[in-house]
Structure 1
Amino acid sequence: MPLRSALAAVLVAIIWGLNFVVIDVGLEGMPPTLFLALRFAVVIVPAIFFVPRPKSRFRDVVLIGSFMSLGQFGLLYTALAIGMPAGLASLVLQAQVVLTVVFAALALRETPTRSQVIGVAIGALGLIVVGSGRGAETPALAFFVTIAAASSWAIGNVIARRIGRSGMTSTPLAGLSLTVWSALVVPLPMLALAFALHGSDAVGFALTHLTVPQLLSTGYTAWLASLVGYGIWNTLLARHPASAVVPFTMLVPPIGMTTAWLVLGEIPTIVELGGGVMLLLGVAITTGVLGSGRRRRLRS
């Protein structure tokens, strides 16, 4: 991957690492479904009036939005709202890296190598350790909902890669275009769900009593995490193999957990940290980070 693309991927990792704490702060006093609807409404307006429609099939755009935006964040916001610590969520969500390789093998017929199989096994074991050793303040349901969010993201990664193969890179704004237009599938279903779960009075009160942290969180998640982050991410996935792009998300947990510690006072248990190291080791092996390093040393 060219240096410019690598630096762009690092920038995305930093933005997303900070994003977990930003979301957690914004969820205070706000139903997660309504907060997600608000975020993606801001993503869409006014960008949709200036960003051209993707040249991909509309069905593919809807699929991207359904899994990478609606599914991933609907589940993540729910997990955070029911007790998932923001820092731990940033770690568990990276199971999407291992899951991306698995789903890509199934959907795109990318046969996994021996090292990838080993990496998937180690990453899965690490995830089990994190789950079994989680602190008492982390509900089991919140943990499994976060894994479901990671699965949805992984499916979105594979779909984005397949779209890239069919010509998504035909314009420089292709990644941003896909991000904006795929966001159309989020606000109305989430708003309807907010009304169904919380009632019109609660929804109306939340919208008319927005706090400064909620407004700042909405701006950050919509403009930085979504428009900038996913605009870059989708473009990178379209231009480079998923195995070259996805490993950069390994930077997200250290950033997310450090930010959660400094801002929210979250301190992971020793078992959670140990399982997290195993998970990230599995990610590194699965995506070839460690193997490529050994090959470079042998050549030098």
Structure 2
Amino acid sequence: MVRSDLFLAVFVMAVWGFNFSMIKLGITEVHPLLITAARFSLAVIPVIFFIPRPKVAWRYLLFYGLVFGTGVWGMASWSITAGLSSGMSSVLLSSNALISMAVGVFLHNEYVSKQKLVGAISVLMALLALILATNGNITPLGLIFILISASCWTLMGMIVKASKCTQAFAFNVWGILFAPIPLVLFAISIYGPSIVTKAIEVWDFNTSIAVLFQAYPTTLFGYWVWNRLLIRYPLSTTAPLTLLVPVFALASGYFMYDEALTVEQLIACALFLVGIGLIVKPRVSSGFFNTLTLRKKEI
């Protein structure tokens, strides 16, 4: 990866990490489902008029919007309201790599290398350690919500893959067109119509800043850059970069909200990210090493 693209990629990872603190900033008074609906409404309204609809069936866009909006970010935002710290929410969302691996094994009979198996064991051990060593930054309900979010991230990838769409950014924009309404209806079905009027009453400056940050730098700019990188470079190069997101999220949570981790949790987070890295990083084949050995002999 060229240096300019690497710097841009790291910047986007920082934006995505900081986004978890901005989610916490916005949902202190307004329900997270409505905050997420506002985020995607702002992200899609001005852009969709300038981007042609991708050549895929409407059902893929509909299900993508439902899963991406309500399943991934609705639940991730709700997990913070339910007591999960913003930094820990980002770390645990990375468990989608473990869930995706499990889906591949049990549904598609995919082969699991020793490297990925070690990574999976590391993630499970770290997850257990994080729960046992909690200092109040992990709650049972928050944990349930973030694991639902991680599962939906895997489902979202399956939808994109099934659509066979090559227009990644257009697919994302047109897909999130279907995100806001299900989020609002879900909130109303639980709390009644008064949840909307209450949100309007308590909406303040911090809420507006949080929504604007999530809509534009995080969603539009972040996914535009990320999709460009996915087109230019192999997934084996880009995927490990996402491990920087929890690092930036933990740092921003500490500086903005004084979200401290115990020593045990710091070690567990490191073990967790190492495990995820082993899962997403392709295994280097023995043929590669044989090639290097032959080249050394030739020299």
User: Fold match, TM over 0.5?
Assistant: yes
- Map 1:189-228 to 2 at 5 A: 189-228=182-221
- Partner residue in 2 for 1:136: 136
For 1:43 and 1:117, the matched residues in 2 are separated by 38
Matches within 5 A, 1:1-300: 6-104=6-104, 110-161=110-161, 163=163, 166-168=164-166, 174-234=167-227, 236-237=229-230, 242-288=235-281, 299=292
Instruction: Please say if residues 165 and 171 of structure 2, whose CA atoms lie closer than 8 Å, have aligned partners that are also in contact.
Output: no
Secondary structure at the counterpart of residue 49 of structure 1: coil
- Gap runs ≥5 in structure 1: 169-173
Tell me: CA distance 1:195–1:66, structure 2 relative to 1, closer, same or farther (3 Å): closer
Shift of 1:209: 4.3
Q: Secondary structure at the match of 1:47?
A: coil
Q: Specify whether residues 70 and 131 from structure 1 end up closer, same or farther in structure 2 by C-alpha distance, changes over 3 A only.
A: same
**TM-score under structure 2 normalisation?**
0.85
How much does 1:240 deviate?
Answer: 5.5
Give a deviation string over 1:101-155, Cα, whole Å, max 9, x none. 4434556665332211221221122122112222235311212221221121123
State the one-letter code of the partner of 1:63.
F
Looking at structure 2, the residues matched to 158 and 201 of structure 1 have their Cα atoms a distance apart, in angstroms, of 36
Matched to 1:112, the amino acid is: V
Task: Give runs of ≥4 in structure 1 deviating > 4 Å.
Answer: 1-8, 104-110, 234-243, 289-292
Aligned-pair Cα RMSD in Å: 2.8
Taking structure 1 as reference, are residues 7 and 97 closer, same or farther at Cα in structure 2, changes over 3 Å only?
farther
Q: Does the CA contact (< 8 Å) of 1:247 and 1:289 recur in 2? A: no
CA–CA distance in structure 2, aligned partners of residues 160 and 104 of structure 1:
15
Q: Which has the greater radius of gyration?
A: 2
Report the TM-score when normalising by structure 1.
0.85
CA distance in 1, matches of 2:18, 2:147: 19
- The aligned counterpart of 1:171 is none
Of all paired residues, the percent bearing the same amino acid is 24
CA distance change for structure 1 residues 261 and 17 in 2, over 3 Å: closer, same or farther?
same
The CA distance in 2 between the partners of 1:260 and 1:43, in whole Å, is 24
- Structure 2: unaligned runs, 5 residues or longer: none
Alignment length (residue pairs): 290
Identify if the C-alpha distance between structure 1 residues 179 and 273 changes in structure 2 by more than 3 Å, giving closer, same or farther: same
SS at match of 1:90: helix
